[in-house]
Amino acid sequence: MRFRQKKDQPTGVIIKPRIRIHVGCASVTPKSLNRDSVRTFRREDSAGIVVCDGVGLLSGSAQASQTVADNVVSGAAAGGPKSLLVIADDLNRDLPVFGESGEGATTMIAAAGSDDGSLTYSYLGNGSLFELRAYPSPRFDKPVIRIAELTLPNVSYESAPHALNSWLPMPGEKLAFSAGTLAPRSPSLTAFLAVTDGIATDDDRELADDSSGGLWREVPLPLKLLIEDLERCWFDLVGEFDRCDGAGSCDSALTEILNDSLARIRDTEVDGRSVLSDDASAGLVVLDGRR
């Protein structure tokens, strides 16, 4: 089948969409020591986040999460988003052991947007990585944010309770992790949210039958509160994006929103107990392709 070229349609011209990338991250803890680590990174053509969760109370886990986060940032600064596709194996090969007994360990979620509108990610351990999209709501003065989980945790269900089966470092072991690149989205505003298991992880979600034979899947309260905060401030945030005058100029606003939300979650109590029982971290990558 042949298509006739319109006379007024230019030929040989590639119009590249103008993608602005905004990133932010935050971390809180109800404990005396936060073993999570969060970072942002930015290059001329890309920007991203990394969130790491030092495993349990293992000696050296806080150091492990800090070191892995720092190495992801330096790797992405040198190699760009594509470095995330192999960063887990590279780190597992090169990292030292952590802690006096060498048992320090961490999970890792990293995500980076590129100026072509694509997103590259690497996920190892647990926690969650979501795609977010805000939709207008005729009933409310704020949008409704829909979320979709992009990958599943690396856990074993062969014993009870279930347990992680992949972390960094695992010297001499073959890692289980997820990594990939999502194709550019249509011109729109899309966000990607990475959280540690203090906020949400699929392996901890309760499943329950309902009276009609369907299945309910729990949305943890910390995640619900975080999404509600993003919905509440979304229009203000978009307005801030519209006023941004350069790469990274809105990152502080995004980080402030995440900081305020996580602090509110930490201070929220149900039946006299904090809804947070663990360190909680979040990182957000926003790809703004609106024209």
Q: pLDDT tens, 15-65? A: 555 789 999 999 999 999 999 999 999 999 999 999 999 998 778 999 999
What global pTM score does this model have? 0.91
Per DSSP, the residues of the chain read ---PPPTTS-SS-------EEEEEEEEE-SSSS--EEEEEEE-SSEEEEEEEEB-TT-TTHHHHHHHHHHHHHHHHHHH-GGGGGTHHHHHHHH----STTS---B-EEEEEEETTS-EEEEEESSSEEEEEEEE--TTSSS-EEEEEE-----EE-SSSS-EE---B--TTSPP--EEEEEPPPSSSEEEEEEE-TTT--GGG--EEE-TTS-EEE---HHHHHHHHHHHHHHHHHHHHHHH--STTTTHHHHHHHHHHHHHHHHH-EETTEES--S-EEEEEEEEE---
| pLDDT tens-digit map of 169-197 | 998 888 999 999 999 977 789 999 999 99
Report pLDDT for 12.
53
Mean pLDDT throughout 115-123? 96
Residue 140 pLDDT: 75
How far is residue 76's CA from residue 79's CA, in Å, rounded to a whole number? 5
- From 4-8, 68-72, 269-273, the region with the lowest mean pLDDT: 4-8
Q: Where are the domains of the chain?
A: 20-288
* Cβ proximity of 38 and 26 under 8 Å: yes
Q: What is the CATH number of domain 20-288?
A: 3.60.40.10
* Whether the predicted pLDDT of 198 surpasses 60: yes
Q: Centre a 10 Å sphere on the Cβ of residue 8 and count the other Cβ atoms it contains.
A: 5
Looking at per-residue confidence, does 204 or 112 come out higher?
A: 112
* Residue range 127-151, pLDDT digits in tens: 999 999 999 887 778 899 999 999 9
Res 257 pLDDT > 70: yes
pLDDT at 186: 74
**Percent of the residues in the chain that have a pLDDT greater than 90, as a whole number:** 71
Assigned token pair, 282: 């979040």
Token reading at 42: 């930015």
pLDDT at 164 over 50: yes
The HSE-up count of residue 237 (CA atoms within 13 Å, CB side) is 26
Question: Is it the case that residue 246 has pLDDT exceeding 80?
Answer: no
118 or 99, greater pLDDT: 118
Residue-wise pLDDT tens digits, 61-105: 999 999 999 999 999 999 999 999 999 999 999 998 887 777 899
pLDDT for residue 168 is more than 70:
yes
Does 4 score more than 60 pLDDT? Answer: no
Question: What pLDDT is recorded for position 16?
Answer: 53
Q: What pLDDT does residue 1 have?
A: 47
pLDDT confidence of residue 245:
77
Provide the pLDDT confidence category of residue 226 given band limits of 50, 70 and 90. Answer: very high
* More confident site: 158 or 121: 121
